Amino acid sequence: MSEDWEPKIVSFFCNWCTYGAADLAGVSRFEHPANTRVIRLPCSGRVSPKFILAALREGADGVWVSGCHPGDCHYIEGNYYARRKFALFKNLLEYMGVEPERVHFSWISSAEATKYVDVAKEVIESVRKLGPNTRFVKHKAKVA
C-alpha cells in the first residue's frame, strides 16, 4: 500500500433519505473525508447485487448502501424487502471470502446529517484499515 493511497468508496444512496442527509451535511458545512462517489437511486430496494459486484469489479475499495429507516420508506416497504436481500447478499459475499468491512449498510434519514457524517467516517476508516480491495476486482490488460 503506498503512503498516499486513499480508499475509493462507491455509495448507493436512496434519493429520499441518505442522499438528502448528505446534501444537508454539505449545506451545514459539516466536514468529512471526500472518499465517496455517490450514486443516487430512488430507493434502497432498487439496489441490485449486480451493482455492488460491478462496483467492486471496476475497482472500488468499498461499497456503502444506505436507505430510509424501516417504516420510513417513500414507497412504504421497499427497504423491508431490501433488508432481506442485503442480509443474504452480505452473508454470501463474506462466505466467498470478501472481508466483512468492505461492504456497509446503513439507515439514515434526510434529517440525520450528523449520523451521515459519522457513518461516512466509519465506513471510510474501516475500508482504509483493510487496504486496497483485491477481491472481485477484474484486472484489465494494460493499454500502452
Q: Which three cell numbers stand for residue 12?
A: 448507493
Least Å distance, CB 18 to another protein, is 11
Cα gap 52→102, rounded to integer Å: 11
Q: Give the nearer residue to another protein in terms of CB position, either 84 or 142.
A: 84
Q: Please state the φ and ψ torsions of residue 14, each to the nearest 5 degrees.
A: -75, 135
Cα gap 59→133, rounded to integer Å: 7
Q: Which amino acid is at 104?
A: H
User: Which three-class secondary structure string do you get for 5-48?
Assistant: CCCCEEEEEECCCHHHHHHHHHHCCCCCCCCEEEEEECCHHHCC
Q: Give the nearer residue to another protein in terms of CB position, either 106 or 110.
A: 106
Q: Give the nearer residue to another protein in terms of CB position, either 8 or 18.
A: 18
Angle of helix 78-95 versus helix 49-57 axis, rounded to 10:
40
Least Å distance, CB 23 to another protein, is 19
Q: Give the nearer residue to another protein in terms of CB position, either 8 or 90.
A: 90
Least Å distance, CB 73 to another protein, is 11
The site for another protein (CB under 8 A) is made up of 49-50, 53-54, 57, 70-71, 77, 80-81, 83-100, 104-107, 119, 122, 135-139
Q: Give the nearer residue to another protein in terms of CB position, either 3 or 95.
A: 95
Least Å distance, CB 141 to another protein, is 11
Least Å distance, CB 91 to another protein, is 5
